[in-house]
Structures are given as structure tokens and as C-alpha cells.
Amino acid sequence: MAKNILLIYNPFSGFFIGMNSVEILDYLNSVTADLSGYNLRLLPFSRNKTDWIKADLKKATDAVWVIGGDGTITTIADMLMTSKIPMGVLPGGTMNLLARDLGMNLDLKRAVGQLRHAVPERIDVATVNGRLFLNICNIGISTNLTERREKLRHYSKWTRWPKLVWYMINSVFVYPAMTVEFNINGQRYRFRTRSVSVSNNLLSDNSVVVPKRDRLTSGTMGVYVAKDTSLWSLPRILLKLLVGKWHYDTDLQNFSSPGFTISRRRRRRMRVMIDGELYRLQKTLRFKIRPGELSILKPGRPL
């Protein structure tokens, strides 16, 4: 029996920049040409038409494959949480964090080939104030960098990345510190910081600029607070991040927890980056891990 696959692609993701709709469809047809025994339906992703996508998901579907950035993948995953339909992740964004951690090839044609032999497994998801994230949630300077990245997304990579690096170098010394309160593992903490990151499962010790996780099923989140003890504390942590020595810095406070809260006084809302997308949430952020709640197609070794 032929497998029915719904392939959702985001035509505005980083991978398709510079292509028109006809070129995108021609490319997708070429990378899926070898899928004998599959009934493939193509559906473009739009945040303004999520009801259409939900309606399409109700049709007979053996799996949903998604080509897009981590934000697109998280949005589709949220729609699939109450179903038993497994999701396949194909690299189509800037960072492709989940695709990397699942062991997917970053060449799209090869990644499609991997999904032909992938099997469904269940991975953890995390939430902040009920909003799903699969990879990472950032508070502080990363929100500014995400906003700048979006403004530069239509530049070529040879122009975009140097501009983004230069902006980061300038921002790291002038971005204002904030006082943040944590209620975590039964203890209360207060830190002055310019950067807080929360990861769905712990980051690997050998993570560098691109966050990496060795496991997606540990049932806990990683919390990483860059304490602002001097003008050089954050730049020093970032330099150590480049060489994989960030976890040895004394100004980096680490926690692991299945659930906790973060709050700021005198603020009604907090600006956060969730899987590459910017949001403003209530000033008390409530984080929770939900073990094994997403069915994902995973090639190779078990999670």
C-alpha cells in the first residue's frame, strides 16, 4: 500500500530565498522524484492560513514532512500534538536545530532519502506560558540579534553574516543588563544578566555557536544564565562559546529542571525568542517539559 505523505513547505524560509513559486515547486519535485510508492501532497505554509493546514491534516495521512525553519516546524508540531501522525523534519531554515539534533542530512535530497527509512519515535517538548518550543527559548540580547537577522534575511549569506557578526560585536557591550528572578528546583535566585537561554533537553558540552543536544528524551530542560558581573563577562562567554569552552566560565550559571519560572519586576511583558521567532509574553514566564509527547521520524540510532 502506498504511503500518504503531506509535505508542508514554507516558501519564505531561508532555504527558498531568491526562488519564485514556480522554481520552488520545480525544486521540490526534483528532490522527491525518487519517492516510488508514496502519494505526496504538497502544501505551502502560511501563518495566516493555519486553519487550512489543520483541515488538511485531518485527511488520510501516514506522516507529515515539514521543510522550513525551526519556527515553522514548531508550529506544525503544535498542530500534531493531539494526533498520532509522525512528523518528519527536513532542513529548510537558517539554523535547522532540530534537524541537526535528529541526525538529518543538511542536503535536502539526501534528507528526503533518510525519511524513507526513518521510524517514529517520541521526543520531549517544552512550553513557556503554554507556548510550545522544541529547541530553545532566549531572553535578552538574543532577541535583538534575532530581530536584526530577520531584517537581513534577504541579503546574500556573504553579506548577511558579516553584518550580523558586526552588529553582535557592537551590541554585546551596550545591551543593558536586567535583573531576573528564578524559582527553580524549590529555590529562589536573582541574577543580573544580559542573556538567559532555556533549552528543551540539555545542551551538549561540545556545543559551539550552533546549539547541540545529545538527547531529546531526558525529561528535563537546561537553563543557562550569563551573569553580568562586569562589562567583559558576556563577551568572554561568547568567545569561549566559539571554541566550545563556554561551560567552564564562572559567570555562566547552569541549572537543569523539568519546570520553573522566570520573572522581571516592573515589566508587564517580556520579549522572548522561541525557536527563532519573537514574542512578547507575560512578565512571569512559566516553563514546563512534556516528556515524549511528539512523534517524530528519526533515522539511524535510537534517541
The tens digit of pLDDT for each residue in 178-215 reads 899 999 999 999 999 988 999 999 999 877 778 899 99
- One domain, residues 12 and 98: yes
- Same domain, yes or no, for 29 and 110? yes
CATH number of domain containing 68: 3.40.50.10330
Q: What is the CATH number of the domain that holds 139?
A: 2.60.200.40
- Domain contains 302: no
If asked whether residues 148 and 200 sit together in one domain, one would say yes
My answer on whether 58 and 138 are in the same domain is no
- 297 belongs to a structural domain: no
**Residue 275 shares a structural domain with residue 166:** yes
Distance (Å, whole) CA 41 – CA 9: 11
Based on the domain organization, do 156 and 64 belong to the same domain? no
**Cα gap 121→299, rounded to integer Å:** 10
| Whether pLDDT at 120 is above 80 | yes
Asked if 141 and 74 sit in the same domain, the reply is no
In a domain, 156, yes or no: yes
Do 147 and 262 lie in one domain? The reply is yes
pLDDT of 129-176, one tens digit each? 999 999 999 998 878 777 666 666 666 666 766 666 666 767 777 778
Residue 88 is predicted with a pLDDT of 95
Residue 58 lies inside a defined structural domain of this protein? yes
- Whose CA is closest to 54, among 24, 21, 78, 19? 78
Q: 193: which 3 cell numbers? A: 544578566
Q: For the chain, what is the domain count?
A: 2
State whether 142 and 230 are in the same domain. Answer: yes
On whether both 145 and 287 belong to a single domain, the answer is: yes
Per residue in 241-297, pLDDT tens? Answer: 776 777 777 888 999 999 999 998 776 788 999 998 999 998 899 999 999 999 999
Q: Quick check: is 215 in a domain? A: yes
Q: Residue 217's domain spans which residues?
A: 133-291
Per the domain annotation, does 126 fall within a domain? no
* DSSP-derived pairing of the beta strands 277-282 and 131-133: unpaired
